Amino acid sequence: MTAKKIIRLAIILSVLFTPTLFRHPSAKLWIPFFLLNGFVNHCFNKILVTTNKVKYPIRFKPKIFKINFVYDYLICPYLSVWYCQSTYNDNFSGILKKAVYWGFPQTIYEIWLERKTKALKFQKGWRWFHSLFLVFIVKFLSRGMLELMKRTYWYEYVFKSKNN
C-alpha cells in the first residue's frame, strides 16, 4: 500500500469515525477534547520535524504542512478520544493497562509506516522506542486533560446542570 493511499484511507476513516465523538457522556466533551488533542499532537510533531528527528516525505498538502496533518489532527485525536472513552471511569491501574493496550498498536503502526512506506522517516537517532515513549506521554496528557475537564466548574455546568 502506498503512502498516498494510506493518507486517503485515513481521511475516509476519519469521516466514518465521526459518530464516535458523540458517545457518552456528550459531544460537548469529546469534540473540544478531540480538537485540543489535535493541537497537542501538532505541537509535539512540530518540535520533532523542526529538530529533524522525524520527516514526512509524503504528506497531505506538502506545500502547506511540514507535519503529517492527517495523523496529527485526525488519526491520533480519534485514538486519544477512544482511549479516554475506554478509561472514563477507570482507576489508575486500569488507565495504565489500557495505555499499553492502545499505545503498543499505535507504535507498531508507526514502525510499519517508517519501514514499509515513504510516509514517515525517523532521523538523527530517533527510534521506535522514542515513539512509544511519546505515544505514552500523549496518552497520559490526554487522560490528564480529561480528568481536569471532569473536575472543573465548566464540566459541572455543562453536564450536571438541569438545563441540558
Provide the domain limits for residue 54.
3-19+27-158
Grid-cell match 473536575, residue found: 151
**Domains contained in the chain, number:** 1
The predicted-structure confidence for 89-100, as pLDDT tens digits, reads as follows: 899 999 999 999
Q: What is the pLDDT of residue 66?
A: 82
Is the pLDDT score of 110 beyond 80?
Answer: yes
Evaluate whether residue 49 is within a structural domain.
Answer: yes
Domain presence at residue 10: yes
164 domain-assigned: no
* 163, part of any domain: no
Decide if 142 is inside a domain.
yes
Specify if 37 maps to a domain.
yes
The model's pLDDT over 117-145, given as tens digits with 9 standing for 90+, comes to: 888 889 988 998 999 999 999 999 989 98
DSSP state of 119: S
Q: What's the rounded Cα separation, in Å, for the pair 84 and 94?
A: 11
pLDDT, tens digit, 9 for 90 and up, residues 3-34 = 677 777 777 877 777 777 676 667 778 888 88
Higher pLDDT, 50 or 9: 50
- For residue 92, being part of any structural domain is answered with yes
Cα(82)–Cα(88) distance, integer angstroms: 10
Say if residues 131 and 111 touch (Cβ distance below 8 Å): yes
Single pTM value for the model: 0.81
Q: 44, 142 in Cβ contact below 8 A?
A: no
Q: Does 96 map to a domain?
A: yes
